[in-house]
Structure 1
Amino acid sequence: MPPRTKQPGEQIRKLVNDRRQSAMLSYAFAVLVLMGTVLLFSIFRTSFVGMLLSLGALVGSSYLYRNGQHLMKRASDAQRGATAETEVAKLLRPLEHQGWKLEYNLRIRRWGDADVVLHSPQGKWYVVDVKSHSGTKVYESGRLRKRYGRNTFDFNEGDLIAKVKGQATEVKHLKSARWVTALLCFTKGNVNISSNQVDGVYVVNADNLVNTLLHLDK
């Protein structure tokens, strides 16, 4: 039986569920510890040791609650990523009707999953890393950054250009391809980069992704 084809955003949705479940467990333990704190305080409120135990339990409950909040935020971030991958998959659907082969969430050794791997009718290979960051993407001080008004910020994930180039190298070996062209696709915000290219990586908006691929495949 051939391996099951992964769906767009499938791997991230699993991550979303895992993080939400972990967050709910953290919240539940926070409540239990808080209840234990109240019980300890009611029993040992006149004891110095009891007061210390109650204080420690209160700190533990607070830590568990904050950890739950952190996991929920990471789950929300992952959910936006899954939504972005689904949006891009819809945009790429016409290419499949033109004979392109698409593979989603391809597992590679060093760089996690490759969001989309494409093989064109011309025999060319492409890897697309999908991102949902807003703001205007610019190349500044030797790195890709995002601009909001007059302020620019680094990406929390680090060097996105190096990451997708690494994915392209892994896919090249995995598919025995002569070359794999790397693209960064943003579903939100704008791109203000000369020729939409940084160090051999094409940086595009989702709306320009298909046209860019078709242009590169000529």
Structure 2
Amino acid sequence: MSPRTKGPGEQIRKLGKQRYQSGRLSYAFAVVVLVGTIVLFSVFGTSFVGMLLLLGGLVGSFYLFCNGQYLIKRAGDAQRGAIAETEVAKLLRPLEHRRWQIEYNLRIKRWGDADIILYSPQGKWYVVDVKSHNGTKVYESGRLRKRYGRNTFDFNEGDLIAKVKGQAIEVKHLKSARWVTALLCFTKGNVDIPSNQVDGVYVVNATDLVNILSHLDK
């Protein structure tokens, strides 16, 4: 296995900073456009050109403001993801002491970064996708969902099971492995799924991750 070149959460933390900076820049442009629109409107007044500039400027400023809000929110999501990956990395330290090899943030073609790749002393490969969603994770109507009280909701990211299965296939080719076992690991909430397994993917709480990996490696 290639040496670990990235720390846990490093890539997503970097992405979060980029999103935050882009969001701040979008806010700044929104202010510039708004001020420029007011200045131009004061020059052209209520003429056709003036009204056209006013409408275009307000729409442009509003769009930039909303884009800034979106990027700042996504930056917060990335920061929470980085914290979650760091928490899981701490939980995995006992495996490192038992000669497991661990790699973080492996770049793959189609599915972004694979959060954690593990290679066990038994020669088995695992890929872990770390999530920080609240709620109880359930498998309902043919898909993974999160439950709050009596209500269940889909994940905004789409089909998390398909995503981590795709990561496992990519890692299998990259590492020339016979098989890669896929796991979804949640740092928050509970998991209410029989045998913690959905379509070949293990869905687990972070606190159970080491025990499940150890069991799978027997």
Same-fold call, TM cutoff 0.5: yes
2:63 corresponds to 1:32: no
| Letter in structure 1 aligned against 2:147 | R
Quote the offset at 1:211 in angstroms. Answer: 0.5
Q: 4+ runs of 1 displaced by more than 4 Å?
A: none
- Matched with 1:167 is 167
Quote the offset at 1:9 in angstroms. Answer: 0.8
Is the 8 Å Cα contact of residues 135 and 147 (structure 2) preserved in structure 1?
yes
Q: Give TM-score, length-normalised by structure 1.
A: 0.96
- Matched with 1:17 is 17
- Matched with 2:135 is 135
Q: Secondary structure at the match of 2:109?
A: coil
| Letter in structure 1 aligned against 2:82 | A
- Matched with 1:115 is 115
Quote the offset at 1:4 in angstroms. Answer: 6.5
With 124-133 and 105-114 compared, the bigger mean Cα shift is at: 105-114
Q: Secondary structure at the match of 1:6?
A: coil
| Letter in structure 2 aligned against 1:192 | D
Take 1:175 and 1:66, find their aligned partners in 2: how far apart are those partners? 42
Take 2:3 and 2:128, find their aligned partners in 1: how far apart are those partners? 22
Take 1:174 and 1:147, find their aligned partners in 2: how far apart are those partners? 35
Quote the offset at 1:62 in angstroms. Answer: 1.1
Change (3 A) 1:214 1:33: same
| Letter in structure 1 aligned against 2:161 | I
Take 1:132 and 1:108, find their aligned partners in 2: how far apart are those partners? 21
Is the 8 Å Cα contact of residues 4 and 104 (structure 2) preserved in structure 1?
no
- Matched with 1:101 is 101
Take 1:39 and 1:199, find their aligned partners in 2: how far apart are those partners? 60
Provide the aligned C-alpha RMSD in A: 1.3
Q: Give TM-score, length-normalised by structure 2.
A: 0.96
Take 1:211 and 1:181, find their aligned partners in 2: how far apart are those partners? 15
Quote the offset at 1:174 in angstroms. Answer: 1.2
Written as runs of structure 1 = structure 2, the 5 A alignment for 1:1-218 is 5-218=5-218
Residues 69-109 of structure 1: CA deviation (Å, up to 9, x unaligned): 01111111111111110110010011101100000001112
Take 1:13 and 1:216, find their aligned partners in 2: how far apart are those partners? 30
Quote the offset at 1:46 in angstroms. Answer: 3.9
Q: Secondary structure at the match of 1:121?
A: coil
Query: Structure 2, unaligned stretches of length 5 or more?
Result: none
Quote the offset at 1:201 in angstroms. Answer: 0.7
Q: Secondary structure at the match of 2:158?
A: coil
Is the 8 Å Cα contact of residues 4 and 102 (structure 2) preserved in structure 1?
no
Take 2:94 and 2:4, find their aligned partners in 1: how far apart are those partners? 22
